[in-house]
């Protein structure tokens, strides 16, 4: 981690500010996911820095951007480890607060032998990322090219960050994860790039998704709500992109074919890579393709942040 000597990390251009969660991932590997009430014997355990915000920040940093993190950790060993891991990546942590009351967030993750996972998140200090913290970091948002948000911090904070980005003329990305319910209607016009996976897109749009054609219908429904661009990630089936000013049917981009080991941070790697490329001035379709290549590398490795590649590892 924090391989600052990696030649692909030299000459970072473009600024990304991530507003989001930081968790310590407690990861158990087992032959399969347990059924309700069942106890399974696992065969490995690890503690790994994670959280969607942290993962996306690390991905954007390793993949070419100057990154700042707005979040909150607890005053405990997990919090110190998470902050240290971000700083080791060269991420600006001046806006990373430490809670005096709440513990650092954790994610309990089981990964099966087919590389599928089940995750339970306990927010902890992530719940203390408040709209007031966003207001206090207006300068940090103003100097960013791209603002990235998820849904592991309070909803009012996410909306405040998106609204600040829109007001300041920054490009806004919302990864609506986890999406347990539909988004308020006034959120969509604040989002330049809405990037759900197939389950999140189905929840937000009401369209069941099994195929890229289903994803296309879901993306059209979400774009009609006001999101400028919608990108639905489909795992091994690739990405369905419905972009402003482009073909109304959207474009399906298949994923690179790789042998998957652990899909834990694949979506976060895609978003971090996509954001880094946008911040560097790349066209959206090129940024999508770059994010896909980065995610394809990540799924061949175990863990969340340890699996995220550096820019020099991504094929042209």
Inter-residue contact 158 to 174 (CB < 8 Å): yes
Give Cβ neighbours of residue 251 (< 8 Å, ≥ 6 apart).
Answer: 240, 241, 242, 243, 285
**Diameter over CA atoms, the chain:** 52
Question: For 64, which DSSP code?
Answer: T
Give Cβ neighbours of residue 66 (< 8 Å, ≥ 6 apart).
Answer: 12, 13, 14, 15, 16, 90, 92
Rounded to an integer, what distance in angstroms lies between the CA atom of residue 316 and that of residue 304? 24
Kindly report whether the peptide bond that precedes residue 178 is cis, defined as omega within 30 degrees of 0: yes
Rounded to an integer, what distance in angstroms lies between the CA atom of residue 107 and that of residue 119? 7
Inter-residue contact 229 to 239 (CB < 8 Å): no
**Nearest Cα residue to 140 out of 164, 171, 156, 163:** 164
Question: For 84, which DSSP code?
Answer: H
CA distances from 243 to 166, 230, 237 (A): 18, 6, 19
DSSP conformation letters of 50-78: E-HHHHHHHHHHHTT-EEEEEEEEESSHH
Is beta strand 239-242 parallel, antiparallel or unpaired with respect to 251-253?
Answer: antiparallel
Q: Which position has the token pair 């879901």?
A: 218
Q: Which residue is catalytic, options 9, 145, 192, 268?
A: 268
**Is 268 an active-site residue?**
yes
Phi, psi of 205 (to 5 degrees): -100, -20
Active-site residue list: 268
């Amino acid at each position: 981690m924090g391989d600052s000597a990696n030649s692909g990390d030299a000459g970072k251009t473009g600024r990304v500010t991530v507003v989001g969660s930081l968790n310590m991932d407690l990861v158990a590997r087992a032959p399969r996911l347990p059924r309700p009430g069942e106890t399974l014997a696992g065969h490995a355990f690890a503690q790994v820095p994670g959280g969607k915000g942290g993962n996306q920040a690390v991905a954007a940093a390793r993949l070419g951007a100057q990154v700042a993190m707005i979040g909150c950790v607890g005053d405990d060993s997990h919090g110190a480890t998470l902050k240290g891991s971000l700083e080791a990546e060269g991420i600006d942590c001046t806006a990373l607060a430490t809670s005096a009351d709440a513990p650092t967030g954790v994610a309990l993750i089981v990964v099966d032998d087919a590389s599928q996972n089940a995750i339970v998140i306990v927010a902890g200090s992530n719940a203390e990322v408040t709209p007031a913290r966003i207001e206090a970091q207006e300068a940090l948002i103003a100097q960013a090219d791209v603002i990235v948000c998820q849904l592991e911090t309070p909803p009012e904070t996410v909306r405040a960050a998106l609204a600040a980005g829109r007001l300041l003329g920054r490009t806004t990305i919302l990864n609506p994860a986890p999406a347990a319910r539909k988004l308020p209607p006034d959120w969509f016009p604040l989002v330049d790039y809405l990037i759900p996976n197939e389950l999140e897109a189905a929840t937000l749009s009401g369209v069941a998704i099994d195929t890229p054609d289903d994803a296309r219908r879901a993306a059209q429904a979400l774009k009609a709500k006001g999101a400028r661009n919608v990108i639905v990630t489909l795992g091994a089936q690739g990405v369905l992109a419905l972009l402003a000013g482009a073909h109304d049917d959207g474009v399906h981009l298949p994923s690179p074919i790789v042998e998957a080991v652990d899909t834990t941070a694949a979506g976060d790697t895609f978003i971090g890579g996509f954001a880094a490329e946008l911040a560097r001035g790349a066209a959206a379709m090129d940024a999508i393709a770059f994010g896909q290549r980065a995610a394809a590398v990540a799924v061949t490795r175990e863990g969340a942040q340890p699996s995220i590649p550096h820019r020099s590892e991504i094929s042209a």
